[in-house]
Amino acid sequence: MGKTAAESHRILLEVYDEHALAEQTCRKWFARFKSGDFELDDKERPGQPKKFEDEELQGLLDVDSCQTLQELATSLAVDLSTVGKRLKTMGMIQKQGYWVPYELKLRDIERRFLTCELLLERQNERVFCTELSLVMKMDPL
């Protein structure tokens, strides 16, 4: 192509307007590509946050599911927002102080169903007993 970094940046500005990358970034990329480095992935940097696996976070939740975001972040030595984002991608939400999956597992659905059946059964028995006691209290003429 034979274009310089400045010329390429001007073309990017014409096409992308204010959404174009900065000229300095364009120059850095040109220098990297010119040196033969065509790797597009981010390189490790000293300021980059420590990475952790979902299994580490899940392990902490298995030990104590009522930990706060701050406690989890401290345990993993990462930023609070990083833990929050990771919990969201894992499908976890906090309910009454406990971290639980947003989607119910089959056993939880069955347990809720059985509980509802039991409560409905109790309610139906209670109504019957109330009506029966009213009938028993009535004096026949």
Q: Is the pLDDT of residue 135 over 70?
A: no
End-to-end Cα separation, the chain, in angstroms:
110
pLDDT digits (tens, 9 = 90+) for 17-60: 888 889 998 899 889 888 988 887 777 767 665 578 889 999 99
Q: Would you state the pLDDT for residue 57?
A: 92
What's this model's pTM, rounded to 2 decimal places? 0.44
For 44-53, 97-106, 118-127, which range has the lowest pLDDT when averaged over its residues? 44-53
Q: Which fold has domain 54-101?
A: Arc Repressor Mutant, subunit A (1.10.10)
What are the boundaries of each domain within the chain?
5-34, 54-101, 105-141
- Give the span between the Cα atoms of 113 and 106, in whole angstroms: 11
The residue type of 10 is R
